[in-house]
A = this chain, B = another copy of it.
């Protein structure tokens, strides 16, 4: 299958029915670059306004509303040896009456060692001098054009994907998006060198990337929310506030998927999920929060 090397010249901070930058086919691989959340490139220069600027969109030949677009994350390579975070947990993840105890957040630099595969604070406070975290790259924001002519801010997420900030969107994982418009119009960007659950400081370690992804079409797939698969599990993604509602979307989507593709009716699926489901919290920072519902593939054999 062909591999397209694409260098973006403009970026979008909404996901919508923008002019495609490239037409690709089922099975194709795209290798492209992405800027960091603040619009910074591989040299750390701001080349586009901030707010999770997206590379794309890519038009996938043959994609029609009702299909799903499976995007396998082949490789995520940081494009520079630095990244940044915010320095304090976000106001919405602590008790309201605890907030006064927190200092103001400021941008903080991190060092990315691509050879060693590590991430560390550039100027750690004494207590954190030994803290060296593993490089664990992931895509913060990606997805397809939403229905009805909407152009949805890359600050948030929805049924079309978007700014889900789930650390499980890492190399080897396949993300599956419901297609709402002809060609799907796939956007991607906002790579993180590492990120904890919930993106609770409002960032992962934000940096520019070279990303390689391979797209495959699933005809009439029945997906209403993003889905995915990795080495251990299949998963579904719900995006909403509060977390309760995100969890409802993800769980409902999993029940639909298990019924349609795994021959598990609501009772059988309940027996399985009730005793074996796992939930991950993608983000609890963005306008829509993200909850991921996972079931280990060994229970589906």
A92 and B281 CA atoms in complex are apart in Å by 18
What are the residues of chain B within 8 A of A133 when measuring CB–CB? Answer: 275-276, 299
Does B266 contact A14, Cβ atoms closer than 8 Å? no
Q: Is A41 an interface residue (CB 8 A)?
A: no
Within A36-80, the residues touching B (CB, 8 Å) are 51
Stretch at the interface among A26-34, A176-184, A210-218, A240-248: A240-248
Closest-CB distance, A253 to chain B (whole angstroms)? 9
Q: Which A95-135 residues have a C-beta within 8 angstroms of B?
A: 95-103, 108, 119, 121, 124-125, 127-128, 130-131, 133
Q: What residues of B have a CB within 8 angstroms of the CB of A86 in the complex?
A: 274
Closest chain-B Cβ to A185's Cβ sits at a distance in Å of: 14
Is A82 interfacial (CB 8 A cutoff)? no
Q: How large is the interface on A (under 10, 10 to 19, 20 to 34, 35 or more residues)?
A: 35 or more
When C-beta atoms are compared, the residue in chain B nearest to A98 turns out to be B252
A128 lies within 8 A of B198 (CB): no
Any B CB within 8 A of the CB of A35: no
- Chain A, range 215-247, C-beta contacts under 8 Å to B: 240-245, 247
A155 to chain B, nearest CB (A): 9
| In-complex Cβ contact of A275 among B12, B101, B196 (8 A) | B196
Cβ A95 vs Cβ B248 within 8 A: yes
Contact A264 B127 (CB under 8 A): yes
Pairwise interchain contact A271-B121, C-beta atoms closer than 8 A: yes
Q: B51, B152, B241, B268: which contacts A245 (Cβ < 8 A)?
A: B241
> With the chains together, A29 CA to B263 CA distance in Å?
48
User: Cα distance A121–B270 when bound, in Å?
Assistant: 12
B204 near A275 with CB under 8 A, answer yes
- By a CB distance below 8 angstroms, the chain B residues around A251 are 89, 93-94, 200
A127 with B268: CB separation less than 8 A: yes
Pull 25 A–B residue pairs with CB atoms less than 8 Å apart, ordered by A. Answer: A14-B151, A16-B149, A88-B267, A89-B266, A91-B96, A95-B248, A98-B255, A99-B99, A101-B266, A103-B267, A127-B268, A128-B271, A130-B301, A196-B273, A196-B277, A196-B278, A197-B278, A198-B279, A201-B273, A201-B274, A203-B274, A241-B242, A241-B245, A242-B244, A247-B281
* New A-B pairs, 13, CB < 8 Å, besides A85-B271, A89-B270, A96-B96: A14-B151, A51-B148, A96-B248, A98-B255, A124-B271, A125-B271, A128-B268, A194-B276, A195-B274, A197-B278, A200-B277, A279-B280, A281-B281
